[in-house]
Amino acid sequence: MPVRTGEGHGSCNGAWHRTMSQPRLSDHAYAAIVEWIKSEGLEVGDRLPSEARLAEMCGVSRAIIREALVRLVSDGITEVRRGAGSFVKGRPSERLSAFMPLAELPVTLGSYEVRFVLETEAARLAAVRRTPEQMAALEAALDGLRTALLSSAPAHVEDRELHRAIADATGNHAFQHAFDALWPDVEKVMQAGVDISRSRSAEVVAVMLHEHEVIVESIRAQDPERAALAMRWHLGEGRRRLMP
């Protein structure tokens, strides 16, 4: 694989100055590194500059760069190879820019970390606690999502209703409140995920729908472990679909 170390015309500085509204330095560095990967045309497998070089390019400390790189690894954008450095693992789809500025990417993708905890446990509890009425609401929400996904209509509202119905089925209003608090970032992810999936093959949308069906089936069967696993798998695959 080619090794590119930032000696060309590109640098993080442009991204750094354009993302000054972000509250955390690691957010600045995260967005700047992603922009640098895109502007320099790095591909999957290409090596990033060293931590010291990235810190110099972005005007931050190496500690901040390390924090940004840890988050980039979590989001599937880079990977660390022991003794060799950091490499590009996935480039965010160009279609993402239609739903969020690059500067918002670290915060928006960061919502997945919260959702892994929140929604996995919500699915587990829903499988144990759901009432017949709540199960009927889940089935109706799944039908609505199926209709939306199999048409050309936006599907993020229907997707939200299903995920929120799962939170409701826990019988704990705190899950609903937490999900609603995340909604501004989740909405962008759901919109982008559907758009990116539709730009590929019909099979991708079918897989997305099947993931939701497995979650609902598990809750219907009152199988908490399967429901939690299905939700975690769905969220992981959803994040992966944001990459080309």
What does the pLDDT look like over 46-101, one tens digit per residue? 999 999 999 999 999 999 999 999 999 989 899 999 989 999 999 888 888 888 88
Q: Which amino acid is at 230?
A: A
Q: Tell me the sheet residues that pair with 3.
A: 47
Domain assignment present for 68: yes
45 and 130 both lie in a single domain:
no
In CATH, what number is assigned to the domain containing residue 42? 1.10.10.10
How big is the CA angle at 77 (ends 72 and 79), to the nearest 5 degrees? 80
Domain assignment present for 3: no
125 and 191 both lie in a single domain:
yes
Domain assignment present for 217: yes
Domain assignment present for 8: no
Domain that holds residue 107: 100-241
At residue 2, the pLDDT reads 46
In CATH, what number is assigned to the domain containing residue 118? 1.20.120.530
Domain assignment present for 6: no
Chain centre distance of CA 243: 9
Final residue of a structural domain among 91, 112, 141: 91
Q: What is the mean pLDDT of the chain?
A: 89
Q: Grade residue 3 by pLDDT with cuts at 50, 70 and 90.
A: very low
Domain assignment present for 4: no
Q: What is the pTM of this model?
A: 0.82
Q: Grade residue 11 by pLDDT with cuts at 50, 70 and 90.
A: low
Domain count, the chain: 2
Which residues neighbour 72 within 8 Å (Cβ) at sequence distance 6 or greater?
Answer: 30, 33, 34, 78, 86
* pLDDT reading at 44 higher than 80: yes
Domain assignment present for 1: no
